[in-house]
Amino acid sequence: MEVIILPSEKDCAKLGGQLIFDLVKENPACVLGLATGSTPVSLYKELIRLHKENDLSFSNVTSFNLDEYIGLSGDHPCSYRYFMQEQLFDSVDINLKSTHVPNGLANNIEAECDSYEQSILEVGGIDLQILGIGSDGHIGFNEPCSSLSSRTRMKTLTGETIKDNARFFESENEVPRHCITMGVGTILDTKSVLLFAFGEGKSDVISKAIEGPISSMVPASALQLHPNVKVILDEPAASKLVNIDYYKEVYANRPSS
């Protein structure tokens, strides 16, 4: 794991944008794994800026989102398909047919999950996965105790996640209880990962995920097994890490590429 600590969320988004810019320039037909929630919003703004000002084209990019609520249609303002349209897809030149978000209204959820996994395999896997982290340690909607080899499937949200996400809904009661999410195993199969976390509120879970033991109680800790992860943090999110000085030194003295 490479832990990169920068002064602000804006700096983190800029770095993330640059890394994605470099990947798309090198491989215009790359496959991106996308995330929702508050965390990636600043990154998506940066990607839109790079698209408008620096000629970054998504026209040949394929994308797969991590998860979707069961029971919400793509045009429901709280669905993750809607979020992606609003925050990124409508402002760049990505071909909507190449964007994938699990179908939360599928009649046969198991078949939807299997076909989602199959679609990822058919394009050769995900080149770069963007992740946030839940305050309970989830990645995607892989809640504590998720199998670390799980694949795309239905999950039940924890009370903590329902509370965290209630801010997007009119009330806590409206938050769907179930979702479809890529599994921890699906995420571990991606070729590279950028995990972002901002704010003091994420500092406890970040220290558990990065410096704690690998445990299904903190699904993000499974990323310690992934060979190519960059964790990009602002100062407050990094504030409880034991090795903070070391991570800063490594980054400050990184070899020039």
Q: Does 137 bind ligand PGA (CB under 6 A)?
A: no
Q: Does 129 bind ligand PGA (CB under 6 A)?
A: no
Least distance CB 210 / ligand PGA (angstroms): 15
Site string (38-67) toward ligand PGA, x via CB under 6 A: xx----------------------------
Euclidean distance between CA atoms 139 and 129, whole angstroms = 11
Site for ligand PGA in 164-203 (CB under 6 A): none
Closest to ligand PGA by CB, 123 vs 217, is 217
Give the amino acid at 208: K
Number of residues that bind ligand PGA (CB under 6 A): 6
Question: Which three-class secondary structure state does DSSP give residue 208?
Answer: helix
Give the range of 57-65, 102-110, 127-135, 174-182 binding ligand PGA by CB under 6 A. 127-135
Q: Does 113 bind ligand PGA (CB under 6 A)?
A: no
CA 29 to chain centre: 20
Q: Does 37 bind ligand PGA (CB under 6 A)?
A: yes
The residues near 103 (Cβ < 8 Å, ≥ 6 apart) are 68, 74, 112, 180
Closest to ligand PGA by CB, 104 vs 134, is 134
- 55 annotated active-site: no
Q: Does 132 bind ligand PGA (CB under 6 A)?
A: yes
Closest to ligand PGA by CB, 33 vs 134, is 134
- 67 annotated active-site: yes
Euclidean distance between CA atoms 222 and 48, whole angstroms = 31
- 51 annotated active-site: no
The residues near 165 (Cβ < 8 Å, ≥ 6 apart) are 157, 175
| Cα dist from 147 to 41, 109, 134, 184, whole Å | 28, 19, 17, 7
Q: Which helix (H) or strand (E) holds 165?
A: helix 159-165
Q: Which residues bind ligand PGA (CB under 6 A)?
A: 37-39, 132-134
